[in-house]
Amino acid sequence: MRVTVIGAANIDIITRSKAKIIPADSNPAEVRLKAGGVARNIAAMLALREVEVDMIAAIGNDPFGNLLKESCMELGINTDAWIIKNNISTGVYLAALENDGELYAGFNAMSAPESIKTADVTKHKSIIAYADLLILDLNVSEKLIGTILELREGRPVMVDAVSVAKVSRVENYLEQIDILKLNRLEAEALTGITLDSKERVVQASNHLISRGVKRVFITMGISGVRATDEKNSIAVPAIPVVVKDVTGAGDAFAAGIAIEFEKDLRTQAEAGVKLAAEHLGRSK
């Protein structure tokens, strides 16, 4: 299996409060710095499971960028198509976690992936057109999404919505998407439907299917996952786990459904839930 992943590679700065966060105050915390980014995290999890991965990402010509590229190469990710620019800074994501590991607030500076131009990807069109699966995160510009979909030559494509602020970038391309992965907030933003009941989750999922998406996965934390295609809509429960860190759990779910993208809907969803649970409960 060969997968091409396009999107964000950035440095994650993770702060975890030692007690309940007190707003507008200085909170004692543990701080970690690690390689991250939605696309990079998915690529890393796939590579660790012996999937051949090509990746297209943009980084600055700076120490963070060097660290990111080296970490990906060590995992066996092909970084030949990475774009290194002198006039941008490598992306940074800052996550403030509560003492129980839940996200209190996240902040991102993601000009790097948004700087990727059509010319940057067209010269690497072979790794797009010949991948068994193309995975795209919405940190790239809406214009570039259209270009990438034109280059895919019929290959299946999976999209990770990334955030409420960026999910609208896929609005005009839904009929070209084979797999769409969203969380509850992203699904609400894209469909305009408040997901406050099982019926409304099903309604939102079916709405996206009616717009042309082949398979829709909506993750809802401890409430599990709603997986939907043209014939079925199923609920897959979350796996109970002691949470160490929520950062990257959605990316782990995405990697799980990518690995099983050729399987039936339930198998695919269960693979995502399993990998996300493993990630949530991992040691620091």
- 246-282 pLDDT, tens digit each: 778 999 999 999 999 999 999 999 999 999 999 887 6
Task: Indicate which CATH number applies to the domain containing 185.
Answer: 3.40.1190.20
Residue 220 counted as domain residue: yes
- The pair of three-digit structure tokens given for residue 7, joined into one six-digit string: 């999107």
C-alpha distances in Å from residue 266, one per residue of 210, 233, 260 = 20, 9, 10
Residue 168 counted as domain residue: yes
Residue 245 has pLDDT above 70, yes or no: no
Residue 72 counted as domain residue: yes
pLDDT at 242 (0 to 100): 81
Query: For the chain, what is the mean pLDDT?
Result: 94
Residue 21 counted as domain residue: no
Residue 268 counted as domain residue: yes
CA separation for the pair 81, 69 (Å, rounded): 11
Counted domains in the chain: 1
C-alpha distances in Å from residue 137, one per residue of 18, 37, 71, 94, 211 = 32, 9, 20, 18, 19
pLDDT digits (tens, 9 = 90+) for 144-201: 999 999 999 899 999 999 999 999 999 999 999 999 999 999 999 999 999 999 999 9
Residue 248: name the closest of 211, 282, 208 by CA: 282
Mean pLDDT along residues 88-110? 90
Residue 28 counted as domain residue: no
Residue 95 counted as domain residue: no
Residue 139 counted as domain residue: yes
> Domain of 256?
2-9+37-87+117-280
